[in-house]
Amino acid sequence: MVAKQYGTDHEEFIVEPNAVDMLPKLAWHYDQPYADSSALPTYYVSQMTRRRVTVALNGDGGDELFGGYERYRALLVQALYRSTTTPALRDAAERATRWFPERLRNHGRMRKLRVFTDDARGSADTFNLSLFNAREFNADARRRLYAPAFAEQLGPAHAEAYFLELMAASADEVGPDPVEQALRTDTLMYLPDTLLVKVDIASMAVSLETRSPLLDTAVMEFAASLPRAWKVTRTENKKILKEAHEGVLPNEVLYRRKMGFSLPLAHWFRHDLYGYTRDVLLDDRCTQRGYFRREAVEALIEDHRAGRQNNASRLWALLMLEHWHREILDPRSLETGSHAFDNTAVGSP
């Protein structure tokens, strides 16, 4: 629709499951165990773009400045839920979601409803953290995964503590509105530490320079000055940004459901990548590193395949950690610089 409206030439590229052959190369470029799976399609779209141009614009910052994430609306719903329901009613709602069949309880809208009823009774900052972490990455789940000797060496989860500290500091800066607090926290943490890292490395891996016009100082200051209700309501995200572009973009594009830049990992790990995942994560080379219990990793793989749990994000994170080891830390990597692909520009790790 956009191409037709503006007479532009749009190209399509389908990312297939065999794209995981790129994981060693991604691990080498990121030079850290970077677990955001959207790095893969970001690499491919950068590669396609570089065939035509050397500099491109991106939309980084739009969600954090104008309230694009669904969890911002969830925070408003949580405030209403806590103020209009009794503890007994919340208990009943939690019990009701546990009656759902297992296959429904851990997938789609039913999963979102279960996570909401389980966590919405808490404070806004911990609720936001549970949504941000997709719940499965909580401290208890990680401890069950760790090998005993490794678990003994670990201190507190610093990233989670930092997240909560930023939420608390944001309350002092922007007031009691939980969405405003979340917007500021994401702008200070998620945007620079994850999203900008992702795009910068994926694009420069193919010698493409990217620019982020929404992160222009004037745009950021303007967005920060707007009332929250102009950005996020219980039923709408990016309200002012969408209204400002009516007539510029087709309404079918402006008001469609939010579509993240994600891969169908849940399907892939149950089918095409099932054998690959077992081969990598249950290989002696991986299990003998001493981080995780082999039986716990195997349970993640098998529970996901059987549909008992959606472990796609966690399995992807484990794969990237293992490939990072193989490309950067293992002795062969240290001797040759990299064995993922030929690159004469490789320096000392």
pLDDT digits (tens, 9 = 90+) for 290-344: 999 999 999 999 999 998 888 999 999 999 999 999 999 997 755 555 544 444 3
Dihedral of CA 47/49/52/54: which sign?
negative
If asked whether residues 157 and 217 sit together in one domain, one would say: yes
If asked whether residues 8 and 129 sit together in one domain, one would say: no
Domain-embedded: residue 44: no
Position 96 confidence tier, pLDDT thresholds 50, 70, 90: confident
If asked whether residues 272 and 315 sit together in one domain, one would say: yes
Average pLDDT over residues 266-277: 96
pLDDT at 116: 77
pLDDT at 158: 79
pLDDT at 285: 95
Judge whether 256 and 8 are in contact, CB under 8 Å. no
CA–centroid distance for 233 within its chain = 23
If asked whether residues 322 and 286 sit together in one domain, one would say: yes
| Residues with Cβ within 8 Å of residue 86, at least 6 apart in sequence | none
Domain-embedded: residue 221: yes
If asked whether residues 244 and 284 sit together in one domain, one would say: no
DSSP state string for 255-266: TSPP--S---HH
| Beta-strand pair 55-57/209-211 | parallel
Residues 206-240: tens digit of each pLDDT: 999 999 999 999 999 999 999 999 999 999 999 99
Tokens standing for residue 240: 């002012």
Domain-embedded: residue 347: no
If asked whether residues 255 and 270 sit together in one domain, one would say: no
Is the pLDDT reported for residue 22 higher than 80? yes
Domain-embedded: residue 111: yes
**What are the b/e assignments for 314-349, b being 16+ CB within 10 Å?**
bbbbbbbbbbbbbbbeeeebeeebbebeeeeeeeee
If asked whether residues 257 and 271 sit together in one domain, one would say: no
DSSP state string for 188-233: HTHIIIIIHHHHHHHHHTTT-EEE-GGGSHHHHHHHHHS-GGGT--
What does the alpha-carbon distance between residue 118 and residue 98 come to, in Å, rounded to a whole number? 10
Task: Indicate the residue among 261, 282, 298 that finishes a domain.
Answer: 261
Task: Indicate the residue among 238, 261, 284 that finishes a domain.
Answer: 261
141: left (phi over 0), alpha (psi -120 to 50) or beta: alpha
| Overall number of domains in the chain | 2
Contacts for 112-116 with beta carbons within 8 Å, 24 or more apart? 116/74, 116/77, 116/78, 116/81
If asked whether residues 71 and 15 sit together in one domain, one would say: no
Task: Indicate the residue among 261, 288, 317 that finishes a domain.
Answer: 261
Position 106 confidence tier, pLDDT thresholds 50, 70, 90: low
pLDDT at 342: 43
**What are the b/e assignments for 164-182, b being 16+ CB within 10 Å?**
bebbeebbeebeebbbbbb
| Residues with Cβ within 8 Å of residue 36, at least 6 apart in sequence | 194, 198
* Terminal CA-CA length for the chain: 46
Is the pLDDT reported for residue 86 higher than 90? no
Position 345 confidence tier, pLDDT thresholds 50, 70, 90: very low
Strand partners, 211: 57
If asked whether residues 207 and 138 sit together in one domain, one would say: yes
If asked whether residues 28 and 57 sit together in one domain, one would say: no
If asked whether residues 157 and 208 sit together in one domain, one would say: yes
Output 153 or 36, whichever has higher pLDDT: 36
Domain-embedded: residue 281: yes
If asked whether residues 329 and 307 sit together in one domain, one would say: yes
Structural domain harbouring 292: 1-37+262-342
